[in-house]
Amino acid sequence: MKRHLLTVLLIVLSVFCCACNHPHTQLSFIAMDTYITLSADVNDGVLSSVRQKICSLSDALDFHNSGSALSILNQNAGGPVDGDLNTLLQLARQYANDTGGAFNPALGNIIRLWDIGGQNRLPAAAQINDALAHSQSGDWQIQDGQVSLQNGVQLDLGGIAKGYASDIALQMIEQAGGTSGLLSIGGNIAVLGSKNGDDWRIAIQHPETEQASIGTLSVCDCFVVTSGDYQRYFETNGKRYHHIFGQNGYPTDNSLRSVTVVTDSGAKADAYSTALFVMGLDQGLAFYNQKQDFEAIFITKDRSVTVTPGLRNRFTLQDGGYYYEN
């Protein structure tokens, strides 16, 4: 939460610093278990409607609330879905397939077992293996508005929900005539248009220092999402256990500290940033070469920064202790 607050503050600062042609309306609130700031050249009423929409998505997708639409699916091993839940689950299925299960919304049993940020349990290997047997990416389907969960799979959409919400928020603002805006849903950034004809400058959270950014990205009309091992974690015996799980049911343990994805969809940026973090640097770069539908910044524990070609003249590294790998 604190990290998200920093991102929010940096963004709010950058919005206030711009002498906009059309004044931006601002709205900040908490939903989806995080801080949200909306800023766009639309009136208060539009941003209030966006807030209502995000809050209703937050309620529907809450994995931890037994009354949410998602939990009801989990309790009933599936069922009918429509509207946003239908769209979001179709996207989740597609990104799970595209990433070979690195993005795996079927990890609910693993997520509940570890409960990172809640009970912070370090489960026994047997418990992890048992939960993993009921968390397989291939054990759920969605077709014609019908979800089916096999083998005790529990869906958790924490790796994509905020990005999807940013897509919906941006669409609502555009439909209301907005042409310029900056939205942050817990650090999932959506950028609409430009800032007086210039790129927006987005601060990328420093993975080691709480009150700092590691660099800035100059972008317009895109979504920017970062996944990292510093967002939610606990440490015991000198080891960090964070909230992004690999296919072995343990928090991923590769060379990466964070991955930022820039692309044309919030849901995709969110799902891919989680997936690339799971894949690790080499596999992540292979995925980049294969897909060619996003750009990324990979930051490793040994302080290397790998920037994909499309972002090389858009990213400015600010910490001299880090070095470019390419």
Applying CB under 6 A, which residues contact ligand ADP?
Answer: 103-105, 107, 111, 156, 158-159, 186, 227, 231-232, 243-245, 270, 273-274, 278
Q: How many angstroms from the chain centroid is the CA of residue 76?
A: 27
CB 198, min distance to ligand ADP, A: 27
Instruction: Find the radius of gyration of the CA atoms of the chain.
Output: 19
Cβ proximity to Mg ion: between 71 and 188 the closer is 188
Nearest to 188 by CA among 58, 37, 16, 47: 37
Cβ proximity to Mg ion: between 15 and 32 the closer is 32
Span near Mg ion by CB under 5 A; candidates 71-79, 131-139, 151-159, 239-247:
151-159
Phi, psi of 90 (to 5 degrees): -65, -40
Question: Which residue number is nearest to Mg ion in terms of Cβ?
Answer: 274
CB 278, min distance to ligand ADP, A: 5
Nearest to 276 by CA among 262, 126, 70, 61: 262
CB 237, min distance to ligand ADP, A: 22
Cα–Cα dist 300/81, whole Å:
39
Cβ proximity to ligand ADP: between 180 and 231 the closer is 231
Indicate which of ligand ADP, Mg ion, none lies near residue 58 (CB less than 5 to 8 Å, by partner kind).
Answer: none
> Site for Mg ion (CB under 5 A): which residue of 78, 105, 108, 159?
159
Does 229 interact with Mg ion (rule: CB under 5 A)? no
Does 135 interact with Mg ion (rule: CB under 5 A)? no
Cα–Cα dist 268/167, whole Å:
10
Indicate which of ligand ADP, Mg ion, none lies near residue 107 (CB less than 5 to 8 Å, by partner kind).
Answer: ligand ADP
Cα–Cα dist 236/255, whole Å:
19
The contact mask relative to Mg ion for 261-300 (x = CB under 5 A, - = no) is: ---------x--xx--------------------------
CB 142, min distance to ligand ADP, A: 16
Neighbours of 235 (CB within 10 A): 10
Cβ proximity to ligand ADP: between 46 and 110 the closer is 110
Amino acid, single-letter form, for residue 87: T
Handedness of CA 310, 13, 204, 170 (dihedral sign): negative
Q: CB–CB of 225/163 below 8 Å?
A: yes
- DSSP character at residue 47: H
Q: CB–CB of 244/253 below 8 Å?
A: no
Question: Which residue number is nearest to ligand ADP in terms of Cβ?
Answer: 158
Residues that bind Mg ion (CB under 5 A): 159, 270, 273-274
